[in-house]
Structure 1
Amino acid sequence: MPDINVDEELEIKAYYAGHVLGAGMFQIKVGSESVVYTGDYNMTPDRHLGYSDIRVHIYATTIRDSKRCRERDFLKKVHETVERGGKVLIPVFALGRAPELCILLETFWERMNLKAPICFSTGLTEKANHYYKLFITWTNQKIRKTFVQRNMFEFKHIKAFDRSYADNPGPMVVFATPGMLHAGQSLQIFKKWAGNEKNMVIMPGYCVQGTVGHKILNGQKKLEIEGRATLDVKLQVEYMSFSAHADAKEAKKMEFLKDKIEQEFSNIGCYMPANGETTSVVTNPSVPVDISLNLLKREMALGGPLPDAKRPRTMHGTLIMKDNSLRLVSPEQALKELGFGEHQLRFTCRVQLHDPHSDTDTLGRICTHLKSVLKSYSIQHVPDGTVIVESIVIKVTSSAEEPNLKVILLSWSYQDEELGSFLSTLLKKGLPS
Structure 2
Amino acid sequence: MINAPGPCVLFATPGMLSGGFSLEVFKQWAPCEQNLIALPGYCLAETVGHKLMRAKPPARIDVDKSTQIDVRCQIHQLSFSPHTDSKGIMDLIRFLSPKNVILVHGEKPKMASLKERIESDLRIPCYYPANNESQCIESTQYIKAEASKSFLQSSLSPNFKFLKTISRADTGFILNERAESCVQVCDDRVAEGAVIMQKDQHPKIVHQNELMDILEAENHKVQVAYCCPVCVPNEPKNVALSPGEDKHPVLDKCSLLHLLYTKLSNDFQDVTIQNDGDCLQIESLTVSPCPKGKCPHRRHVNPVSTSEAVNFCCTWSMEDEKLAWRVISIMKNLELKTH
Pick the TM interval, shorter chain.
0.3 to 0.5
TM-score (norm 2): 0.33
CA radius of gyration, larger in: 1
* Structure-1-length-normalised TM-score: 0.27
